[in-house]
Amino acid sequence: MRSAGLMAAVLALAGPAAAAATATPEDLTTAAARLESAGAALAAARGAEDRTAPLVAAIGAYEEALARLRGVVIGAGAREREITLELAERRGEIMRLTAALQTMSRVPPPAQMMHPAGPLAAARAGAVLARLTPALQAEAADLAATLREIETARVLQREGIADLASGLAALEAARDQLGGAIAGRGAMDPPEAALRAGRDAETLTALAAALARQPGGGGAEAAAAGDWLWPVRGRVLAGFKAPDASGARRPGLLLGAPALSLVEAPSDAMVRYAAPFLEYGYVVVLEADDGTLIVLAGLAQLAVSAGAPVARGELLGLLGGRNLEVEEYVMLPDADAGAGALETLYIEVRHGGGPVDPAPWFAGENG
């Protein structure tokens, strides 16, 4: 037996893979296909007369495909580390046995059958070797499978990272195009009453209260309470009247979401206010048909104007932030909730004359 083959047999004592791979070539193929579909959607959006809706769909497709790819890359890396640690834990035993078997391999087969205690002892030694050889072959096969799994994991990581890099670049281009499409729409002149409310109010709550006192805008029929869409996908950083990072208790929710997240209308409504407000960036106030007001604060770019109707799920604007490099996207701990670099969106709901807890109005858990 050659030294390299002998080493392979001995390394097999570290055992076969302890668990099924967390990422497979099929996973990578599926994610890459989704990325390709997102690219086709982006190409189709460029030729659309109104590019906003198809660009939003393409961005959503990219984000989903990239999240799947990220899972493949992280899973492959985790599996490679797991197998490597399994082998490392048996390193001392492996090295000692390797030395012994290398010594045996240098002894010619006829000499292996000789024994100083005589023919009977030689026969017994031969029987032991006969039983040992198939066991070593089985261990070598197990090790070969383990080593192939390590190589598969490494290939998945390399190819997945390459796909992530190209996908993130395409996602950045799609976001740029969406920004251009939004800017090209032009903004409607907001009602004077809404502008006055924005100038006079000193807090978001005061702004919402002032708008609530004005005549309604004929809001669209809203989804029932408990059926609203979350405007962004993220996590609740501060609940209703819970202290935020600064210790302030606000009558709304503070959501953390990935940079440049699309902000969507929770329900069919009328836009009562859409403009910058104090330190909150852009603020959008929506009114449903029953007079319920939804305040969304913290947008970096607007896609709607005051006085316009919006449908449930329609784009309202984007959060701020920057595009991530591939290394950041892979290494930071939680891409679905901002990959460690959260932007924030504040939500306040006024119903029945005052602020209420927004959480029960939304369908399911966020994130």
Task: Please state the rounded mean pLDDT for residues 30-53.
Answer: 88
Beta bridge partners of residue 347, listed in sequence order: 253, 296
pLDDT value of position 215? 72
The C-alpha atoms of residue 160 and residue 65 are separated, in whole angstroms, by 11
Name the residue with tokens 């490679």: 80
pLDDT value of position 222? 53
Domains and CATH numbers, the chain: 3-185 (no CATH), 192-361 (2.70.70.10)
Name the residue with tokens 């962004």: 232
340: alpha, beta or left, given left = phi > 0 and alpha = psi -120 to 50?
A: left
pLDDT of 337 strictly over 50: no
Residue 249, SS3?
Answer: strand
307 vs 297, which has greater pLDDT? 297
Using pLDDT thresholds of 50, 70 and 90, give the confidence band for residue 24: confident
Task: Please state the rounded mean pLDDT for residues 266-270.
Answer: 93
Task: Please state the rounded mean pLDDT for residues 295-310.
Answer: 93
pLDDT of 299 strictly over 90: yes
The C-alpha atoms of residue 320 and residue 298 are separated, in whole angstroms, by 8
- Encode pLDDT of 137-179 as tens digits: 566 566 667 778 888 888 888 999 999 999 999 999 999 999 9
pLDDT of 358 strictly over 60: yes
Predicted TM-score of the model (pTM): 0.75
Q: What's the gap between Cα 73 and its chain centre?
A: 12
Secondary structure element (H or E) that encloses residue 170, with its range: helix 119-185
pLDDT value of position 348? 93
Residue 302, SS3?
Answer: strand
Secondary structure element (H or E) that encloses residue 16, with its range: none
Of 44-48, 98-102, 119-123, 304-308, which has the strongest mean pLDDT? 304-308
* Closest listed residue to residue 216, CA positions, set 272, 267, 294: 272
Task: Please state the rounded mean pLDDT for residues 237-260.
Answer: 86
- Encode pLDDT of 73-115 as tens digits: 988 888 888 888 877 776 665 565 555 555 555 555 554 455 4
Using pLDDT thresholds of 50, 70 and 90, give the confidence band for residue 19: very low
Secondary structure element (H or E) that encloses residue 254, with its range: strand 253-257
Is residue 112 within 8 Å of residue 104, measured between CB atoms? yes
The C-alpha atoms of residue 298 and residue 253 are separated, in whole angstroms, by 12
Beta bridge partners of residue 235, listed in sequence order: 256
Is residue 174 within 8 Å of residue 42, measured between CB atoms? yes
- Give DSSP secondary structure letters for 43-99: HHHHT-SS-HHHHHHHHHHHHHHHHHHHHHHHHHHHHHHHHHHHHHHTHHHHHHHHH
pLDDT value of position 16? 37
Task: Please state the rounded mean pLDDT for residues 39-45.
Answer: 91
Q: Which pair of structure tokens corresponds to residue 201?
A: 């109010």
Task: Please state the rounded mean pLDDT for residues 215-237.
Answer: 74
pLDDT value of position 37? 94
207 vs 336, which has greater pLDDT? 207
- Encode pLDDT of 179-208 as tens digits: 988 887 766 666 777 777 778 788 888 888
114 vs 287, which has greater pLDDT? 287
pLDDT value of position 14? 34
